[in-house]
C-alpha cells in the first residue's frame, strides 16, 4: 500500500514540477497566492497536465494502474497524503542497496496476512544489521 502512496505522490510531484516550469509570463508573482484551477490560464493548465499526458501516452500498459493510483490519491485523507509524501521523500533519499532491501521486504510481505506482516515487522525491528543482511540474502527477489 505504501508503494501506491509513493507512486501517487510521484505523479503529483510530476504535475507540480510541470507548473514550476511554466513560462515567466504565465507565472503569477511569487508573493501572490496561486489561483484556483478555474482561474488558471489554458497554458498553466497545460503545464500541469503535460507530464501526466506524456506518461499516459508513452505507457498504454500502465494506464489502468495510473488511473487506479490517481483514484486512490483522491480518496486519501490529508494525513494519508502527508504520510505518502514523507514516504516518497524517504525513498528518494535511500541509497540503492537499502532500496533493494526495501523492495525485497515489500515483495515478501505482499502475500502475507496482516497478522503475519505485523509479526515480521516486529521481528525486523529487533534484528541486528547482520541479521537483516542475512534475511535479505535469503529472501532477495530473483531478477
Nearest-10 Cα torsion for 67, 51, 99, 101: 20
Cell of 118: 505485523
**Could you tell me if 19 and 89 lie in one domain?**
yes
Residue 19 has pLDDT above 50, yes or no: no
25-34, 38-47, 90-99: segment of lowest average pLDDT: 25-34
Domain carrying residue 135: 96-143
pLDDT value at residue 110? 85
**Could you tell me if 72 and 2 lie in one domain?**
yes
Q: Is the dihedral of CA 111, 115, 120, 121 positive or negative?
A: positive
Whether residue 87 contacts residue 2, with contact meaning beta carbons closer than 8 Å, is answered with: yes
pTM > 0.75: yes or no: no
pLDDT value at residue 59? 93
**Could you tell me if 100 and 82 lie in one domain?**
no
**Could you tell me if 70 and 122 lie in one domain?**
no
The total of structural domains in the chain comes to: 2
CA distance 44 to 74: 21
Cell of 117: 506482516
pLDDT value at residue 2? 53
Amino acid at each position: 500500500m505504501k508503494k501506491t502512496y509513493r507512486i501517487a505522490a510521484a505523479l503529483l510531484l510530476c504535475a507540480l514540477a510541470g507548473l514550476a516550469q511554466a513560462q515567466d509570463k504565465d507565472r503569477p508573482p511569487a508573493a501572490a497566492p496561486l489561483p484556483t484551477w478555474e482561474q488558471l490560464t489554458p497554458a498553466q493548465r497545460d503545464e500541469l497536465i503535460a507530464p501526466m499526458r506524456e506518461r499516459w501516452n508513452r505507457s498504454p500498459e500502465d494506464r489502468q494502474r495510473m488511473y487506479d493510483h490517481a483514484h486512490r490519491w483522491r480518496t486519501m485523507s490529508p494525513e494519508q497524503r502527508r504520510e505518502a509524501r514523507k514516504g516518497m521523500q524517504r525513498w528518494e533519499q535511500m541509497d540503492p542497496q537499502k532500496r533493494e532491501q526495501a523492495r525485497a521486504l515489500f515483495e515478501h510481505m505482499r502475500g502475507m496476512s496482516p497478522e503475519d506482516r505485523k509479526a515480521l515487522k516486529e521481528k525486523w525491528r529487533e534484528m541486528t544489521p547482520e541479521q537483516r543482511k542475512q534475511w535479505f540474502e535469503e529472501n532477495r527477489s530473483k531478477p
